[in-house]
Amino acid sequence: MKKVGFFRSIHLKFVLIYVLLILIAMQIIGVYFVSKVERQLVDNFSTSLQERIQLLAYSIEQEIKKPRDDTTPKLEEDIRTVLQDITMEDISEVRVIDNKSKVLGTSDPYNQARMVGKRTTELSIKRALVVGSPSEKIAIDPNTGYRMQLIVAPIKTNSQEIIGAIYLEASMEDVYGQMRQINSIFTTGTILALAVTAVLGILLAQTITRPMSDMRKQALEMARGNFSRKVNIYGNDEIGQLALSFNNLTKKLQEAQATTEGERRKLSSVLSHMTDGVIATDRKGRIILINEPALGMINVSRETVLQKPIVEVLGIDESHTFESLVSEQESIILDFSLEDKPLILRASNSIIQKETGFINGLITVLHDITEQEKIDHERREFVANVSHELRTPLTTMRSYLEALAEGAWKDKEIAPKFLDVTQTETERMIRLVNDLLQLSKMDSRDYRFNKTSVEFIEFFNKVIDRFELSKSQKVTFVRDLPNQEVFVSLDGDKITQVLDNIISNAMKYSPEGGTITFSVHIEETNQILVSISDQGVGIPKADLNKVFERFYRVDKARTRMLGGTGLGLAIAKEMINAHDGDIWASSQEGKGTKIFFTLPITQVEQEDEWS
Ligand code: ADP
């Protein structure tokens, strides 16, 4: 935040307010006081003039009334004598006029000759002579520019007869000089008062502005996340209490922030450690939060998706808009499969809503349902396969039985053949159902193996011997077995079944006169590697892993003809895996197939007497 300039500061405003208040107060007092003083001075001045005029009027009246003859001086001379006594600084001229408007005398020596004996034309004098009332006015002396008090007073006898008038001009300069002095004292006083107020104002304002500026700094620091500062408390007034509340607020905020931070950390740890992906958006559908699992699932970096619309990032902008996600809130299945890695996600949406109902955003939880989908798919496929596998022998049987029922049973040649076919198909169905039962037993968790420590080479030889004795084909068996005893912990019945499946396959697909090689190797990894290879049709490379899947057959028509169920290798795989071993196949198309499996060794006898 910008620093507050001095001219905009509250400090200056306080000082200005103080100074203005004092100025206004001084002005009001000044105007009232000066006008009062001025009126008082002027009143005093005119009262003193009036008093002197009255004295003078009395003297003049005496002079006028005085009986005169040739021996006595003339009236004008007596009046001049009276007027000469009036020596006052402020009175500039006094004229005496008789009742016929003739000037009898003047105190101004320069006007003696010009005025005495002449008739005056002054209107106010004439009015005074006629009406008998005094008049007062203020005029400006054209020569000096001073204010003059002009007083005209009638001279009356005791019987109220007007016998003349006195005209007096007095300079008011003294009065106004005093007024100027008073004004200047007042102005100096005001300036002094203002200066003192300004200084005091600055000091006093500081007591308010300093805590405020402290609080401002504190607020700025708080905005930056620093809660360690405290505001100084200078007193217990309102500002002091404000500072105290401010400090309390800081503490509360700090606690609230710590709580929020703690919650945020918890949330982020929960989000990053959960296996589901979580995406949160703002109210416009732009991503504001995305956790690591979500980033991994949709294979993007956080920087590229933040603030991007969720519908675009999840690639659902064609089927859904953000608004439809918000209103429907149903889960959507998204396919993020790559060429080598299938990935099916279920996006469940829920909205973030305020108490008022205002929608703040959307939370999308991405759940990896690839495995579930795969299992569902496999289950559907399994049911379809089982139905298909059962339908084929059943339809064959139905058609043969229909033929028999329609009369073929009478035919001695065809009837046994047809019966033979139905018997073969029934056996195949029994085999299939048995295999299925075996698989389903193994799928159930409580399936138990009856493991014992078995000397594997002897065990293997016995199985091969059984096949060698019962074989009807012309195939040669070659045994490449070590001359030592190897003990393996196994369930004899189950591993016999595995070997039966593999060997019968090898024999099934072996050509006439082919060789089947049985070998056992003791591996350094403390396990035996068993392999059974034939010189048959082989398995295409693409199908090598798939032959261990349920119902998978490379050449469906052919294997069915050979009586296979497509479950033999799947069962073998389950069993080998349950013995902590591995099973796989290698093949060269047209040249032969080799099936390998491993089993962990429990003990090896180094003696090689056995052959
Ligand atoms: P099946 O009962 O049909 O033989 P398996 O699970 O035992 O079922 O075998 C699966 C498929 O693998 C067979 O249908 C066959 O196509 C192929 N297969 C298995 N063993 C061999 C082999 N030795 N030579 C060629 N193909 C084989």
Helix (H, G, I), strand (E, B) or coil at 86: coil
Find all residues with CB under 8 Å of 98, minimum gap 6, and list them.
64, 104, 163, 164
Paired with 531 in beta bridges are 519, 596
pLDDT of 357: 84
Distance CA 261, CA 255 (A): 10
CA distances from 332 to 37, 291, 300, 339 (A): 97, 19, 20, 22
Helix (H) or strand (E) holding 602: strand 592-605
SS3 of the chain: helix, strand, coil, percent, to 5? 50, 20, 25
pLDDT of 88: 67
Structure tokens at 252: 């509360």
Residue of minimum CA distance from atom 11 in ligand 1: 553
Distance 487 CA to ligand 1 centre (A): 29
pLDDT of 502: 95
Check pocket membership of 581 for ligand 1, CB cut-off 6 A.
Answer: no
Residue of minimum CA distance from atom 12 in ligand 1: 547
Check pocket membership of 553 for ligand 1, CB cut-off 6 A.
Answer: yes
> Are the C-beta atoms of 594 and 531 separated by less than 8 Å?
yes
Mean pLDDT by 10 residues, the chain (611 residues): 73 88 92 92 90 88 82 81 76 87 86 82 86 88 87 88 90 90 92 92 85 86 85 85 90 91 90 90 92 90 92 82 81 87 90 87 92 89 87 90 91 90 90 88 81 94 92 90 92 93 92 94 93 93 90 75 80 93 93 95 66 41
Check pocket membership of 555 for ligand 1, CB cut-off 6 A.
Answer: yes
Bridge-based pairing of strands 476-480 and 515-522 is: parallel
Distance CA 119, CA 100 (A): 8
Fill in the DSSP letter of residue 546.
G
pLDDT of 159: 85
Which of 518, 547, 551, 576 for a ligand 1 pocket mutation test, highest count of atoms within 8 Å of Cβ?
Answer: 547
Residue of minimum CA distance from atom 23 in ligand 1: 506
Closest atom of ligand 1 to 570 CA is 6
Distance 550 CA to ligand 1 centre (A): 11
**How many other CB atoms sit within 10 Å of the CB of residue 172?**
20
- Closest CA relative to residue 607, chosen from 439, 503, 489, 483: 483
**Dihedral-angle region of residue 47 (phi above 0 means left; psi in -120 to 50 means alpha; beta otherwise):** alpha
**How many other CB atoms sit within 10 Å of the CB of residue 45?**
17
Distance 564 CA to ligand 1 centre (A): 8
| Angle at the Cα of 141 from the Cα atoms of 137 and 143, rounded to 5 degrees | 170
Distance 118 CA to ligand 1 centre (A): 166
C-alpha 277 chain-centroid distance: 22
pLDDT of 348: 92
Distance 442 CA to ligand 1 centre (A): 21
Bridge-based pairing of strands 527-533 and 583-588 is: unpaired
Distance 594 CA to ligand 1 centre (A): 11
Check pocket membership of 509 for ligand 1, CB cut-off 6 A.
Answer: yes
Distance 490 CA to ligand 1 centre (A): 24
Distance 451 CA to ligand 1 centre (A): 27
Helix (H, G, I), strand (E, B) or coil at 132: coil
Which of 534, 555, 569 for a ligand 1 pocket mutation test, highest count of atoms within 8 Å of Cβ?
Answer: 569
Helix (H, G, I), strand (E, B) or coil at 352: strand
Distance CA 397, CA 90 (A): 160
Phi then psi dihedrals of residue 25, to 5 deg? -60, -45
Check pocket membership of 428 for ligand 1, CB cut-off 6 A.
Answer: no
Distance CA 23, CA 322 (A): 67
pLDDT of 277: 93
Residue of minimum CA distance from atom 4 in ligand 1: 564
Check pocket membership of 98 for ligand 1, CB cut-off 6 A.
Answer: no
- Closest CA relative to residue 95, chosen from 122, 132, 62, 135: 122
> Are the C-beta atoms of 596 and 518 separated by less than 8 Å?
no
**Dihedral-angle region of residue 223 (phi above 0 means left; psi in -120 to 50 means alpha; beta otherwise):** alpha
Strand segments, DSSP code E, in 26-182 are 91-98, 103-106, 135-140, 147-156, 162-171
Check pocket membership of 592 for ligand 1, CB cut-off 6 A.
Answer: no
Structure tokens at 162: 């007007």
Round the CA-based radius of gyration of the chain to a whole number and report it: 66
Helix (H) or strand (E) holding 113: helix 112-115
Distance 273 CA to ligand 1 centre (A): 45
Distance 21 CA to ligand 1 centre (A): 111
pTM over 0.75: no
CA distances from 334 to 178, 309, 318, 345, 365 (A): 103, 16, 12, 5, 12
Which of 475, 553, 567 for a ligand 1 pocket mutation test, highest count of atoms within 8 Å of Cβ?
Answer: 553
Distance 419 CA to ligand 1 centre (A): 28
Check pocket membership of 536 for ligand 1, CB cut-off 6 A.
Answer: yes
Closest atom of ligand 1 to 548 CA is 6
Burial zone of 352 (CB within 10 Å; 0-12 exposed, 13-18 middle, 19+ buried) = middle
pLDDT of 213: 85
Check pocket membership of 505 for ligand 1, CB cut-off 6 A.
Answer: yes
Distance 566 CA to ligand 1 centre (A): 7
**How many other CB atoms sit within 10 Å of the CB of residue 102?**
16
> Are the C-beta atoms of 294 and 305 separated by less than 8 Å?
no
Check pocket membership of 593 for ligand 1, CB cut-off 6 A.
Answer: yes
Q: How many helices (H) does the chain have, and how many strands (E)? A: 16, 17
Paired with 279 in beta bridges are 290, 364
